[in-house]
């Protein structure tokens, strides 16, 4: 086992591990400042911020020979006997010089920069920079340049780390960004014609990631630009509901308003990235057209029902019906699907369970780095299917269910939605004409919603709590990020109450219960860790 020394501390690394100075220092609890190095990109060692002293310890004599000059830690491999010193006066001076050089031509317009508060240049300046700026440049307004529909460039704020350029070459494989000019005049840009019009704009489906990658405020997200200062927001771990990839994300909100989504590092699912469709696909959470009142159809029209009496009322009605059918949306979490299916089976042991429509769009898209955007635009088809398969029912798909509903008169049909757009049509309404009691639970009005006997407003992904099972059978749990709008209750809470449970819906308790009852979910027993659990882990023999 190779041993590496970081500031005199012995760190043992694995035989096969290929780590650089920054990574090995992280294990020793030492943070080495850097701009250009990112674990998901290639090494260029151009920013010179991670300069450290490096040397070699002779294993036979124990003598340490240091290299005379400071070297970039990102480019120095950690091998047996490598010695790193990150806190010597030489290193401290080198960092201060790099920081001063980067700030020479920087506009220092932090008050109007969206990155302020999470900016590496700011943080490193306070930590490693000089106390005073010796350059006699007054703060000025940065030049701004459009790069595409999603990203804008503040030219003068850039520190030329080229993370964004490398991202488009190595991860998205689209190579829109480049460095123009040389020396002190270097700038990031895209190809333009002689009039400055964009010829090849930054328009790949992963373009939003360059904003996260940018260590300073040079790249701005147009969707988020000037919406909120970052220090006001709280970050909540969540899972993207945009497609069956199920990227680990962070939902950043302030006072129950979601302002942006960011990828969360998860080597098993999305690495460091997420797609633009997922990133900007949260605006329906605050759509003014969301339905926010539980209502019941009377002869005179719809009347509002109080959430406090709704579970008892529904239960009384459903108990009296003969044949029950439940449509489980692939937007439900595993826990919600389980609770609702269990409730349906408790009322009518032969209840029909069907899967809601599974939206698909195009074909799976694979990028250069291996990142995949799936065509299946729902997060939890596999989770819902696994739950139903084990509860002893056969799961119908949406088309089959509508066919069955035409031939058979159901006493009650409970349909769950949660889709972003209108997902059903008048044909579906006509197919369900024979059904006596129609309960529709959804976020937006639709033909089925307008015909429902009970209209129950539903929560969006940011308001839900539970777990999704992604395309590779990885179960990831998350908690709610924002409270639902007034009048809306999270679906899980309603099912929880329908099953006669008291208190608040607790997804962690339910997933534990599912793990004990359904063998497929057994890996989830004992708590689901942050990167999720692989449900196939027991099947690989």
Partner 1 sequence: MKPDDSSITWIPEPQLGMTGKMFLPLFVQGLTTTFKHLKKSLGGGTVTTSYPDQEPAIAAPLIYRGVHRLNKDHEGRVKCVACFLCATACPAHCIDIIAAESPWPDREKYPESFAIDELRCIYCGMCEEACPVDAVELTSLYNLTGRSREEMIFDKEKLLSVFDATKDKEPMKSEAFGGTVT
Smallest distance from partner 1 to CB 111, Å: 3
Query: What's the closest the beta carbon of residue 87 comes to partner 1, in angstroms?
Result: 16
Contact letters (x/-) for partner 1, 122-161, by CB under 8 A? ---------x---------xx-x-----------------
515: Cβ–Cβ under 8 A, 6 or more apart, which residues? Answer: 521, 522, 523, 524, 525
Rounded to a whole number of angstroms, the minimum distance from the CB of residue 233 to partner 1 is 12
Q: Which stretch binds partner 1 (CB under 8 A): 46-54, 109-117, 401-409, 424-432?
A: 109-117
Q: Which of 232, 257, 403, 450 binds partner 1 (CB under 8 A)?
A: 232
The CB density around residue 31, as the number of other CB atoms within 10 Å, is: 11
Q: Which of 64, 92, 104, 112 binds partner 1 (CB under 8 A)?
A: 112
Can residue 227 be called a binding residue for partner 1 (CB under 8 A)?
yes
**Which residues, 355 to 394, sit near partner 1 by CB under 8 A?**
none
Residue of the chain from 61, 231, 503, 541 that contacts partner 1 (CB under 8 A): 231
- The DSSP result for 357-390, as a single string, is P--B-S--EE-TTS-EE-SB--S-HHHHHHHHHH
According to the binding rule CB under 8 A, does residue 300 interact with partner 1? no
Smallest separation, CB 162 to partner 1 (Å): 24
Which token pair is 112?
A: 């109007």
Contact segment (CB under 8 A) with partner 1 among 227-235, 300-308, 328-336, 463-471 equals 227-235
Q: Do 337 and 383 touch, CB atoms closer than 8 A? A: yes
Q: Are 203 and 176 in contact (CB under 8 A)?
A: yes
What is the CB neighbour count within 10 angstroms for residue 170? 15
Size of the site for partner 1 (CB under 8 A): 13
Q: Is the Cβ of residue 180 or residue 225 nearer to partner 1 in the bound state?
A: 225
Comparing CA positions, the residue from 417, 476, 470 lying closest to residue 441 is: 417
Q: Which of 69, 229, 320, 536: binder of partner 1 (CB under 8 A)?
A: 229
Largest Cα–Cα separation, the chain = 95
Q: By the 8 A CB rule, do 160 and 210 touch?
A: no
**Under rule CB under 8 A, which residues in 462-481 are in contact with partner 1?**
none
What is the number of alpha carbons within 13 Å of residue 46 lying toward its C-beta? 13
Looking at 427-505, which runs of residues are DSSP E strands?
437-442, 454-457, 466-469, 474-478
Write down the least CB distance from residue 152 to partner 1, Å. 10
3-state class (DSSP) for residue 415: strand
C-alpha–C-alpha distance, residues 500 and 82, integer Å: 62
What is the closest distance, in whole angstroms, from the C-beta atom of residue 279 to partner 1 in the complex? 20
492, 333 Cβ separation under 8 angstroms: yes
Residue among 22, 46, 21, 25 at smallest CA distance from 36 = 46
Smallest gap from Cβ 326 to partner 1, in A, equals: 44
Structure tokens at 361: 């769009």
Is the CB of 62 or the CB of 111 nearer to partner 1?
A: 111
Q: Which is nearer to partner 1, 111 or 503 (CB)?
A: 111
Q: How far is the CB of 112 from partner 1 (least distance, A)?
A: 4
Residue whose pair of structure tokens reads 């209840």 in the numeric block: 351
By beta-carbon proximity to partner 1, the closer residue of 141 and 312 is 141
Nearer to partner 1, 154 or 480 (CB): 154
Interacting residues with partner 1 between 187 and 226 (CB under 8 A): 225-226
**Using the rule CB under 8 A, is 87 a contact of partner 1?**
no
Beta strands 82-85 and 3-6 are parallel
Nearest approach, Cβ of residue 128 and partner 1 (Å) = 15
Query: Smallest gap, in angstroms, from Cβ of residue 537 to partner 1?
Result: 46
Helix segments in 236-333, DSSP class H:
276-279, 310-320
Taking the least distance from each CB to partner 1, the nearer of 31 and 530 is 31
Among 495, 466, 492, 468, CA closest to 481:
466
Nearer to partner 1, 229 or 320 (CB): 229
Closest CB to partner 1 among residues 229, 366? 229
CB of 115 to partner 1, least distance (A): 13
Pick the stretch among 17-25, 65-73, 104-112, 246-254 that binds partner 1 (CB under 8 A).
Answer: 104-112
Per-residue b or e along 317-349, where b marks 16 or more CB atoms closer than 10 Å to that residue's CB: bbeebebbbbbbbbbbbbbbbbbbbbbbbebbe
Give the one residue of 80, 100, 109, 123 binding partner 1; rule: CB under 8 A. Answer: 109
Tell me the closest approach of the beta carbon of residue 222 to partner 1, in angstroms: 10
- DSSP for 450-508? HH-SEEEE---TTT--EEEE-TTSEEEEE--SSPPPTT---HHHHHHHHTT--SS--HH
Q: Which one, 89 or 111, has the nearer CB to partner 1?
A: 111
The SS3 assignment for 71 reads strand
- Point out which residues bind partner 1 (CB under 8 A): 109, 111-112, 131, 141-142, 144, 225-227, 229, 231-232
């Amino acid at each position: 086992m190779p041993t590496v020394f970081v500031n005199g501390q012995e760190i043992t690394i694995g035989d096969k591990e290929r780590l650089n100075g920054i990574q090995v220092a992280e294990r020793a609890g030492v943070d080495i400042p850097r701009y250009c190095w990112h674990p998901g990109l290639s090494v260029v060692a151009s920013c010179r911020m991670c300069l450290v002293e490096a040397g070699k310890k002779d294993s036979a004599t124990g003598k340490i020979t240091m290299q005379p000059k400071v070297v970039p830690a990102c480019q120095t491999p950690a091998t047996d006997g490598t010695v790193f010193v990150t806190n010597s006066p030489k290193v401290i001076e080198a960092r201060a010089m790099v920081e001063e050089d980067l700030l020479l031509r920087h506009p220092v317009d932090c008050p109007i920069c969206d990155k302020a508060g999470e900016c590496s240049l700011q943080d490193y300046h306070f930590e490693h920079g000089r106390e005073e700026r010796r350059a006699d440049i007054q703060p000025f307004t940065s030049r701004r340049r459009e790069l595409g529909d999603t990203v804008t460039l503040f030219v003068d704020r850039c520190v030329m780390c080229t993370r964004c350029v490398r991202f488009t070459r190595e991860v998205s494989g689209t190579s829109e960004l480049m460095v123009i000019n040389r020396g002190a005049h270097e700038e990031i840009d895209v190809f333009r014609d002689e009039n400055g019009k964009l010829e090849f704009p930054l328009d790949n489906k992963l373009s939003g990631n360059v904003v996260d990658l940018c260590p300073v405020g040079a790249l701005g997200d147009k969707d988020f630009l000037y919406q909120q200062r970052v220090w006001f927001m709280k970050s909540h771990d969540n899972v993207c509901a945009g497609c069956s990839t199920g990227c680990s994300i962070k939902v950043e909100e302030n006072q129950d308003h979601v302002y942006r989504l960011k990828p969360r590092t998860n080597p098993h699912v999305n690495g460091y990235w997420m797609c633009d469709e997922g990133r900007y696909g949260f605006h329906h959470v605050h759509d003014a057209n969301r339905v926010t009142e539980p209502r019941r159809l009377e002869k005179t029209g719809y009347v509002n029902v109080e959430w406090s009496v709704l579970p008892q009322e529904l239960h009384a009605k459903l108990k009296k019906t003969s044949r029950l059918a439940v449509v489980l949306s692939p937007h439900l979490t595993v826990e919600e699907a389980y609770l609702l299916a269990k409730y349906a089976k408790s009322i009518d042991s032969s209840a029909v369970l069907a899967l809601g429509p599974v939206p698909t769009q195009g074909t799976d898209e694979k990028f250069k780095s291996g990142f995949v955007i799936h065509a299946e635009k729902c997060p939890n088809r596999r989770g819902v299917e696994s739950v139903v398969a084990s509860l002893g029912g056969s799961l119908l798909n949406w088309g089959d269910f509508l066919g069955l509903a035409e031939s058979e008169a159901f006493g009650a049909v409970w349909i769950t939605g949660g889709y972003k757009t209108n997902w059903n049509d008048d044909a579906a309404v006509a197919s369900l004409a024979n059904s006596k009691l129609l309960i529709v639970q959804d976020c937006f009005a639709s033909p089925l919603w307008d015909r429902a006997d009970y209209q129950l407003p539903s929560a969006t992904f940011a308001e839900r709590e539970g777990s999704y099972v992604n395309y590779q059978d990885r179960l990831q749990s998350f908690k709610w990020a924002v409270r639902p709008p007034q009048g809306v209750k999270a679906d899980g809470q309603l099912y929880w109450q329908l099953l006669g449970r008291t208190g608040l819906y607790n997804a962690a308790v339910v997933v534990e219960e599912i793990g004990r009852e359904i063998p497929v979910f057994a890996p989830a027993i004992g708590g689901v860790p942050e990167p999720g659990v692989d449900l196939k882990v027991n099947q690989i023999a």
